[in-house]
Amino acid sequence: MQATAAPVRGCVLIVEDDAKLRDLVARSLQQSGCSAVAVADGAEALAAVRRQPPDLILLDLDLPSLNGLEICRRLKRDPDLASIPVVFMTAQAAEVDRIVGLELGADDYIAKPFSVRELTLRVQAVLRRTRAVPAGARVFGALSVDLATRDVTVGGSPVTLTAMEFDLLAALIDAKGRPLSRERLLREVWGYEHPDEVQSRTVDVHVRRLRRKLGPEAGRLQTLKHVGYRFTDADR
C-alpha cells in the first residue's frame, strides 16, 4: 500500500466573488493544513498580495471590475511577485480562455464545478513542487539552471520563470535526453491523476512560453512529433 504524502502547509489567497464558494474553499484548505485568506475582488487581491505575499493564489477568472486575467498580468509583471504560483478557478471552459491564462503565466487551471477534494489535491501538488529543493546547478552552453535556488540565467542575464515553467524545465533536464510525453508531464509536473482526460494544450503553451524566455537557448527544448518533448544538452 502506497504511503500518503504528508500535507504541505502554506498560505493560499482565494480570490472569488461567490461568497459561498469562497467560504467552502477556505474551509477545505484549512482542513488540509493550509491557512487561507479570502477576498472578493481584484483590488482587494492585489492589496492582499502586496501586504503579505501568499504561497499560492487561487484566482477566479470572472471577477467584477478587475478580472482574473488582468490581475495575473499585473502580478507576473512585478519581479517581486512573479514567482507566486497562480491557479485559475473558472466556469469559462473555452480553450482560448485557458490558453490566454497560461500565456500570462498561470500555473494551472481548474474548471467549475469542481470537487473540493480535487481542488485540495491540486493545491497540495503545486505547493509540494514549489517547496521541493533539489540540489545542484547545471550549465548547458549559455544556459545555467540552479536547481537549489531555482535561478535561471542565459548568457549571464537572469530569466524570470513561473514556478510551473521552472518545474517543467527541471523535469525535462532530469530526463537526461529521454523524451517525455505530454501525459507524463501532466502527471509528474502538474499532478493530474488522469492526464489522458485533460483536453488542453497546457503543456504546449508552457513549452512555447519557456522557449520564448530562453531566447538563444530555446532550441534545447525539442518537439518530437506524436511523442512529446525532450531537453538536449548538446551544443549546436
Contacts of residue 93, defined as CB under 8 A and 6 or more positions apart, other chains included, come to: 111
pLDDT band at 3; cut points 50, 70, 90: very low
Contacts of residue 178, defined as CB under 8 A and 6 or more positions apart, other chains included, come to: 230
pTM of this prediction exceeds 0.85: no
9 vs 49, 122, 128, CA distance in Å?
A: 18, 13, 9
C-alpha to C-alpha distance for 29 and 7, rounded to whole angstroms: 11
Nine-digit cell at 107?
Answer: 500555473
Q: Which domains does the chain have, with CATH numbers?
A: 11-131 (3.40.50.2300), 137-231 (1.10.10.10)
pLDDT, tens digit, 9 for 90 and up, residues 164-206: 899 999 999 999 899 999 989 988 888 777 767 665 688 999 9
pLDDT, tens digit, 9 for 90 and up, residues 99-113: 677 777 788 888 888
C-alpha to C-alpha distance for 68 and 106, rounded to whole angstroms: 10
CB 35 within 8 A of CB 14: no
